[in-house]
Chains A and B, each alone.
Chain A
């Protein structure tokens, strides 16, 4: 027995010796990239493996991690563990990060490919000095629906249609969810009025019983298999889903839609700024951007990249809508801390509201009463039995 334990211990120690201890500080050869899920071509379906290509060209290895919403990325940065070299948030979140001084300025001397980025994406509202971010993609948010089960759709109100109850998906982040409700009610996407927030939250709570699930990346499986029929999501992902399920259609509703830009930034606390800038430079290479976005379906901010794309993709009205449609697009901007907090807490109350409060209170009240009754009864019975035994014992004495 002892020998066996010793040999087991020896084997474990050997295992330890063989496994290399994790490197704590990043050497010149690694960067950590924090991006949206399903947001880079990785070699599947014959696409370009972007990260492998980057490592091949620069020798820098990539540690690739994903998030599913701007808010969870922000939380991750705030709660520590922020050794990311590249993050790719959306426009309004970049504005928030800049205002909180959480980003490093990019040294554009190291990013010569920046010249390829279109003028339309420079000096944006969220980064007016063009110092902190370089665009990665842009796109639109619209309504995806399964034509086999759903009538043609033109309005965001379809997401409140009782006919499709239990087959509707909704955004699992407060900005996009509130945004849709704000558009329906005719408010600005960037309103900070508490009354408007409350009315929006009320509308979302009315939708909740019809919603199958609040999702982000889980949407792919659900829409492709027909588990759900109606969902708001991003145009690029619609193109990906439509390849698997041709019954799916996309529409940019009449009330308006969100036009967004996702851009690459370097957060403070990064360990390999030079590597990060090399990555940004690599992504601005028209060939890389073209092949990457050809696979993703999102739109490239680099026009010269279109020549590297499939011609169907480069001319797709979903990925590259005409100017008239683009004019209807609305962008998010950063909200004040107080408004953000209010939105957060209202969103939490939407997600946690339930219609069966009274039922639970009543049933739990009954159960507690029953348990207390049982305990009292048992106590009474056992004390009576003890008294009887004591009496019997005394009688026999």
Chain B
């Protein structure tokens, strides 16, 4: 049974990675046909770096992802703290509303936001409402649930007496929040922020419906590329992104390993808001 599981796991990983390897190989292909490897070359990477429109799109995507995940993290963390202190009935209502962007398929979220902006555009008698700000609003909207649902469990796990103890010892509520609650929930905040960033960076469907002509993100442009004769520099872009994300993940994994290893080796800190996890 165990062998079956292991074999299945290996097969599934192979299944997951073979298409990506195809793209990696295609990025070194001098011909445009992925199925026929002409000769090995780095020229596609050269083409990629010479193309400043693609680089500009990459910058756009990163900008939107950073801004929206930052806003979503701030707003979402505040919201999670507030929701945590709500009465049960109100909390359930708000959490249901929070779940909506997650349970709705991307296309419905995108369509509903596009219609909202179209409606507002009609009211304001403007024809060019879609742009950077609508895109930012859309991204923050679908990032928020990830942050909130990442922070809430940590708030639930936190010992409620800690905050009371801080208040008893003379902290104002703001100080208690900053010095006691925040460090406790920080892992949730960070993982929520990272999830929001990843979701924003790679979002295609929602951006496709709310993007205007002035500010286009990379995934939307890649979709436009797929409707035309394919240009191999896209494969070069893919390979670079693959390498970058792989690197980030490996580094994060190593850091986590080092952290947990070190913590196992020395006694736990306790008390004044120090290294907890």
Contacts and interface: CB of A to CB of B under 8 A. Distances in A.
Interface of A: 1-2, 4-5, 12, 15-16, 19, 22, 24, 32, 34, 37-38, 63-66, 68, 76-77, 79-84, 216-218, 220-221, 225, 268-269
B224 A66 contact: yes
Interface string B168-187: 00000000000000010010
Nearest to B35: A225
A76 B210 CA distance: 11
Contacts, number: 91
Contacts of A77: 127
Given A19-B63, A81-B212, A66 B228 contact: yes
B159 interface: no
Interface residues of B, number: 38
B131 interface: yes
A234 B265 CA distance: 72
B60 A80 contact: no
A225 B67 CA distance: 43
Chain B CB within 10 Å, residue with most, of A24, A34, A80, A218 = A80
Interface in B210-244: 211-216, 224, 227-230
B116 to A, nearest CB: 11
A149 B170 CA distance: 87
A259 to B, nearest CB: 25
B33 A225 contact: yes
A248 to B, nearest CB: 15
Contacts of A76: 213
A243 to B, nearest CB: 13
A217 B229 contact: yes
B227 A268 contact: no
Contacts of B164: none
Contact of A38 (B53, B186, B190, B229): B229
Given A5-B190, A83-B213, A218-B229, 17 more contacts: A1-B186, A1-B259, A12-B66, A15-B66, A16-B66, A19-B59, A19-B62, A19-B63, A22-B132, A22-B214, A63-B213, A79-B114, A79-B118, A80-B128, A80-B129, A81-B128, A84-B213
28 contacts: A4-B255, A15-B66, A19-B63, A32-B213, A34-B213, A37-B224, A37-B227, A38-B228, A68-B227, A76-B213, A80-B129, A80-B130, A81-B129, A81-B131, A81-B212, A81-B213, A81-B214, A82-B128, A83-B128, A83-B212, A83-B214, A216-B227, A217-B228, A217-B229, A218-B227, A218-B228, A220-B229, A268-B127
Given A80-B117, A80-B121, A217-B227, A24 B66 contact: no
By Cβ-Cβ distance, the 10 closest A-B pairs, closest first, are A81-B212, A81-B130, A220-B229, A217-B228, A80-B130, A80-B129, A37-B228, A82-B127, A80-B121, A83-B128
A216 to B, nearest CB: 7
Contacts of B253: none
B277 A1 contact: yes
Contacts of B224: 37, 66
Interface of B: 33, 53, 59-60, 62-63, 66-67, 70, 114, 117-118, 121, 126-132, 183, 186, 190, 211-216, 224, 227-230, 255, 259, 275, 277
Nearest to B224: A66
Given A19-B62, A221-B229, A2 B127 contact: no
A223 to B, nearest CB: 10
Nearest to B32: A221
Contacts of B131: 24, 81, 83
A171 B109 CA distance: 30
A369 to B, nearest CB: 26
A120 to B, nearest CB: 31
A63 B221 CA distance: 13
A200 B224 CA distance: 30
A26 to B, nearest CB: 8
Contacts of B62: 15, 19
Contacts of A24: 131-132, 214
Contacts of A220: 228-229
B127 A80 contact: yes
A123 B33 CA distance: 45
